[in-house]
């Protein structure tokens, strides 16, 4: 199995919106509505931001939203804030196992 | 309060065995998957495998199948990740996390740093 494909880096200014893509196959992203997104700040454990493609855990701001089309899922962060600067990882259920994306570094300019 | 508390950092030599732990509290331990995730220095997250304490159902990533063993002791609410013969390439931070499905990991431990060096 291969890691899901994410852009290495994205950037945006405070207040802007950014979208991070996550491309897999019909065996993972395209085959299930079970895509999640994690935020990781340096030296910290990951934090679940989105699950089941579009759902937000309690406490996650509604500035974070998820979507999916075919084999590609996306995380959109609107109204960028300085604290959003972090690494973001997508993750997809693939039946007998689960796979992460390679990660995207978000820089808030 | 849900908590996952992992065992402390380890320094081992190549060829040695190791078992690290993850103790859950504040939730129904038997009803949620416990997963293990590797993060090598400066690299991304890698899903290793999960175990369901309720029935011991265990699933591994093909990349880690046969390389590690995941187990659980329900009586003490603790999950384990074990190596029989460490390699230098096993040096990494290892996180445990819980979730209602293997991809949906909503609470994470603080991580256990494993260093394998001769």
pLDDT digit string (tens) for B5-36? 999 999 999 999 999 999 999 999 999 999 99
Tokens of A12: 């945006």
Which of left, alpha, beta for B71 (phi over 0: left; psi -120 to 50: alpha)? beta
pLDDT in tens, B79-94: 999 999 999 999 999 9
Residue A105, class by beta-carbon neighbours within 10 Å (0-12 exposed, 13-18 middle, 19+ buried)? middle
Among candidate residues A99, A102, A101, the one with its CA nearest the CA of residue B50: A99
Q: Computed from CA positions of residues A93, A97, A101, A103, in that sequence, does the dihedral angle turn out positive or negative?
A: positive
Cα–chain-centroid distance for residue B69? 9
In this structure, the strands spanning B33-39 and B10-12 are: unpaired
Tokens of B48: 């290793």
Q: Band of the pLDDT at A6, cuts 50, 70, 90?
A: very high
Rounded Cα gap, residues A57 and A90, in angstroms:
15
pLDDT of residue B102: 86
Rounded Cα gap, residues A29 and A22, in angstroms:
8
Tokens 């999960």 correspond to: B50
Nearest Cα of chain A lies from the Cα of B75 at a distance, in angstroms, of 26
Residue A26, class by beta-carbon neighbours within 10 Å (0-12 exposed, 13-18 middle, 19+ buried)? exposed
pLDDT of residue A55: 97
Residues of B in contact with A45 (CB under 8 A): 95, 97, 108-111
The reply to whether residue A45 touches residue B106, judged by beta carbons under 8 angstroms, is no
Residues of A in contact with B95 (CB under 8 A): 45-46
Residue B12, classed as helix, strand or coil, is strand
pLDDT in tens, B44-100: 999 999 999 999 999 999 999 999 999 999 999 999 999 999 999 999 999 999 999
């Amino acid at each position: 199995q291969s890691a899901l494909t994410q852009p290495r880096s994205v950037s945006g200014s405070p207040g802007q919106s950014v979208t991070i893509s996550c491309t897999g196959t019909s065996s993972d992203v395209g085959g299930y509505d079970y895509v999640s997104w994690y935020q990781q700040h340096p030296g910290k454990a990951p934090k679940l931001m989105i699950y089941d493609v579009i759902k937000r855990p309690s406490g996650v701001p509604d500035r974070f939203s998820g979507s999916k089309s075919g084999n590609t899922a996306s995380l959109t962060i609107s109204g960028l804030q300085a604290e959003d600067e972090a690494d973001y990882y997508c993750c997809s259920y693939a039946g007998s196992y689960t796979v992460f994306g390679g990660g995207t570094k978000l820089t808030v300019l | 309060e849900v908590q996952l508390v992992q065992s402390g950092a380890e320094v081992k030599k190549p060829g040695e065995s190791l078992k690290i732990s993850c103790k859950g509290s504040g939730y129904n331990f038997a009803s949620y998957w416990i997963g293990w995730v590797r993060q090598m220095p400066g690299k991304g997250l890698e899903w290793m495998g999960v175990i369901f304490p309720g029935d011991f159902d265990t699933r591994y990533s093909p990349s880690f199948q046969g390389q590690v063993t995941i187990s659980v002791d329900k009586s003490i609410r603790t999950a384990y990740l074990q190596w029989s013969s460490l390699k230098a390439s096993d040096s990494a931070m290892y996180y445990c996390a819980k979730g209602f499905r293997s991809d949906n990991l909503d609470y994470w431990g603080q991580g256990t740093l494993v260093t394998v060096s001769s």
